[in-house]
Amino acid sequence: MSQFRFVLVVFYFTAVLIFAVYLRGANNRVFYKLSQYNARQRQLKQELGARQLLLESLINPAALTKRLEELQTTAEQ
């Protein structure tokens, strides 16, 4: 009976260690994915900011007046 108990304890600790290694690997995979998503989110925010600036320059009355003046001068020539 003692030998059976010893084998059972060794099997239990082996299973726990294998599970711990699996959890560490899963943690690394999740951290890597999270880092990828954060990088993509920063990239999209920068792109959105650039597009917003472009849109504001198209809507801005001063920019529109300048463009209209440029169009009028080119049309007159």
- pLDDT (tens digit, 9 = 90+) per residue, 25-37? 999 999 999 999 9
Helix 61-76 and helix 2-59, axial crossing angle in degrees, nearest 10: 50
pLDDT in tens, the chain (77 residues): 799 999 999 999 999 999 999 999 999 999 999 999 999 999 999 999 999 988 887 777 777 777 778 878 777 76
Range of the domain at 67: 2-76
Q: How many domains, the chain?
A: 1
Global pTM exceeds 0.75: no
Helix, strand, coil shares of the chain, percent, nearest 5, are 95, 0, 5
pLDDT at 41: 97
